[in-house]
Structure 1
């Protein structure tokens, strides 16, 4: 009992659920297109909220810089009249510093916005593919695999090399029945034609001489 509890605790610490069936349930939910679509939408919402927060921080920084500049400019302008030269030099220095800081901030903002736009474009492309997959699944429904038949199917007798048209037709008919019972009947992939003497139209098992489909006739 104690060993089982220790094993369960170890599995929980690794981030796995020790209960039976939890692994298969998680796998199936991961493959669900709707679940994947919801996760991608949630990630996009988180990214958008983060982008909004970054832009708000940049706006607050610009506002603070503007307030600091106005305060420094007011102090410079309050200098005595005799210090006009120093005042002018300080104003030029302040303008250059502000211009450099603003340009750097704008470049940083451009890089951040460009990176986020690229990331959002990738997410949108993935979302489009997920939506297409969901639409396809909803339109076609889940694929149903045909179970293989466990019934023992008798194999046709080997062809003895007879030149008789009737014997050849019977042999091809037995092949058609065998493939049909095996679930691989496809007249487009397995066209069965009987070679007949010259001047006689070919005979297709299960059809008339005019080429119209009839019921399958057993060999004579």
Structure 2
């Protein structure tokens, strides 16, 4: 009988261990499922935040696009107003002159080629010709405006030349107030034959000034000699 009781108790303990093992396994499964649910909820929250950020970015882009379109429309209106203003000025001039003028259709005027100061008659002539075509295409008629516009297309050596001229103009030493005067001066500076002529002219001026200087020195020396006594004069001539 004692052996049977022992076997029964052992069997009961084994069954209890099996039940407890199953309980622990089920508990671990529940913990894993709970953890997975938590991660899933967190991921859903993150995805929701991302969607919100994407929505804000899209809204900002749309706002920016609308702003750019508004600016473009404003620019178009401003250009249209300027064209209307120019047409009105032309009409007023026509009425004042007793004639009727039809505004010419506007075309895109190509920018003139820059001039860098190369002493080449052909290159300078091309620059002047292109500037005059640009004046015609852009309807630039004011004399001073032509000069200001032309100087914008000078580079390198030509820019240095104009800076010196502009300095003289600001100091009242020179005047270039028309396109014709500007053409004359730039040709005088950069036409090869004019450059050679100006160089010879300056050499003559230097020689002339040098001769005058020597003459002035001789005159002063003669006057000084006349003021010396005879003994001092002999000593001075010995030194010379």
User: Whose radius of gyration is greater, 1 or 2?
Assistant: 2
TM-score (norm 1): 0.33
Structure number with higher helix proportion: 2
TM-score (norm 2): 0.31
